[in-house]
């Protein structure tokens, strides 16, 4: 037993310094990188041809660090976060499109129905090459959003490339107030309900339940078509709650983080208002 204990203690003593050494090495490497960043910033402040805004440069560097990871990670300044809150909780003034950066190109995910962009003929998959004459190459997603939004009644010109076009086409679109309603529904025939969810925002589940309740008051739902085409996503908790309306029990979705304690599991709840009918999901 003493031999086993001594061996175990020796292993621990061997591992502990090794782990500590790895942590110290990582910390030293981080400090070196930060020192390089600081030196570059100082050189820019002292020698760049124009006067720079340090905060703007630092924000750009942070955003570049995050966008190098994947297309969905980005840095939100306080103003950016405020705009995001408006987009998911209320309304905003703009042309009415959901956009993303796909393969390095600013791309329309979906026009929001009945908005200026939708009425102008903008389609999902359209590539936005210029905004107001400025190329969108190397433009961040949030910078593009800022340029597309503006005061109601003002206009913005965007240059669009579409797969079946031979050249770019310009669209001059007048901005308007864009209400953030994410659910639309219509009865296709008695008992058959069509529901489109354009994105998942703060009130999506309530809008869905209101549409279902309204239909039930007229005619029992015998079939449901749930249209999620060109839905760019949105708030995870709302997508889970929407699924919960149609699922009796079990895991809806799970997420995994770098650490085990960051993992999350979302399950269906029995006390959630449920709707059971034959359903097709588009």
| pLDDT digits 0-9 by tens, 216-249 | 998 899 999 999 987 878 888 999 999 999 998 8
- Tokens 């269906």 belong to which residue? 268
Q: Which of 182, 221, 22 is nearest to 90 (CA)?
A: 182
Under the banding of pLDDT at 50, 70 and 90, the label for residue 44 is confident
pLDDT of residue 6: 53
Domain 78-179 = CATH 1.10.560.10: no
Question: Quick check: 198 and 231 in contact, CB under 8 A?
Answer: yes
Share of the chain above pLDDT 70, in %: 89
Q: Which of 127, 136, 141 is nearest to 71 (CA)?
A: 141
pLDDT of residue 54: 85
pLDDT of residue 18: 54
Whole-Å CA distances, 109 to 37, 101, 124: 35, 9, 5
Under the banding of pLDDT at 50, 70 and 90, the label for residue 16 is low
Q: Which of 126, 272, 115 is nearest to 199 (CA)?
A: 115
Under the banding of pLDDT at 50, 70 and 90, the label for residue 9 is very low
pLDDT higher at 259 or 278:
278
Under the banding of pLDDT at 50, 70 and 90, the label for residue 27 is confident
Structural domain boundaries of the chain?
Answer: 2-52, 78-179, 183-281
Average pLDDT over residues 62-87: 77
Report d(CA 225, CA 48) in Å as an integer: 59
Domain 183-281 = CATH 3.30.70.360: no
Under the banding of pLDDT at 50, 70 and 90, the label for residue 115 is very high
Report d(CA 92, CA 181) in Å as an integer: 12
The sign of the dihedral angle between the CA atoms of 171, 113, 181, 74 is negative
Q: What is the pLDDT of residues 177-207, one digit of tens each?
A: 987 788 989 999 999 999 999 889 888 999 9
What DSSP string runs through 80-140?
HHHHHHHHHHSEEEE--EEEEEETTEEEEEEEPTTSHHHHHT--TT-EEEEETTEE-TT--
Q: What is the mean pLDDT of the chain?
A: 84
Q: What is the pLDDT of residues 253-273, one digit of tens each?
A: 898 888 888 888 888 887 778
Q: Given a cut of 90, is residue 154 above it in pLDDT?
A: yes
Under the banding of pLDDT at 50, 70 and 90, the label for residue 21 is low
Q: Given a cut of 60, is residue 210 above it in pLDDT?
A: yes
Q: Residue 176: beta bridge partners?
A: 94
Q: Given a cut of 60, is residue 209 above it in pLDDT?
A: yes
């Amino acid at each position: 037993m003493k031999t086993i204990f001594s061996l175990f203690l020796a292993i621990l003593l061997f591992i502990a310094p090794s782990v500590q050494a790895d942590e110290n090495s990582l910390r030293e490497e981080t400090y070196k990188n930060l020192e390089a960043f600081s030196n570059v910033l100082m050189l820019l402040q002292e020698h760049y041809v124009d006067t720079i805004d340090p905060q703007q440069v630092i924000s750009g560097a942070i955003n570049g660090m995050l966008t190098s990871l994947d297309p969905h990670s980005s840095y939100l300044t306080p103003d950016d976060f405020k705009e995001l809150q408006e987009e998911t909780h209320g309304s905003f003034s703009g042309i009415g499109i959901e956009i993303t950066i796909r393969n390095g190109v600013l791309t329309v995910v979906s026009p929001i129905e009945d908005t200026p962009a939708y009425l102008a003929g903008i389609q999902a998959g359209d590539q936005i090459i210029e905004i107001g004459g400025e190329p969108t190459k190397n433009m961040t997603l949030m910078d593009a959003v800022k340029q597309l939004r503006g005061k109601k009644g003002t206009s913005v010109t965007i240059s669009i490339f579409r797969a079946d076009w031979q050249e770019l086409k310009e669209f001059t679109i007048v901005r308007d107030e864009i209400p953030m309603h994410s659910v639309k529904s219509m009865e296709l025939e008695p008992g058959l309900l069509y529901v489109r969810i354009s994105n998942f925002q703060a009130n999506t589940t309530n809008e869905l339940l209101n549409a279902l309740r309204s239909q039930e008051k007229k005619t029992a739902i015998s079939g449901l078509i749930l249209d999620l085409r060109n839905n760019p996503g949105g708030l995870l908790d709302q997508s889970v709650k929407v699924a919960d309306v149609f699922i009796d029990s079990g895991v809806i979705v799970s997420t995994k983080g770098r650490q085990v304690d960051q993992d999350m599991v979302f399950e269906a709840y029995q006390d959630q208002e449920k709707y059971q009918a034959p359903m097709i999901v588009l």
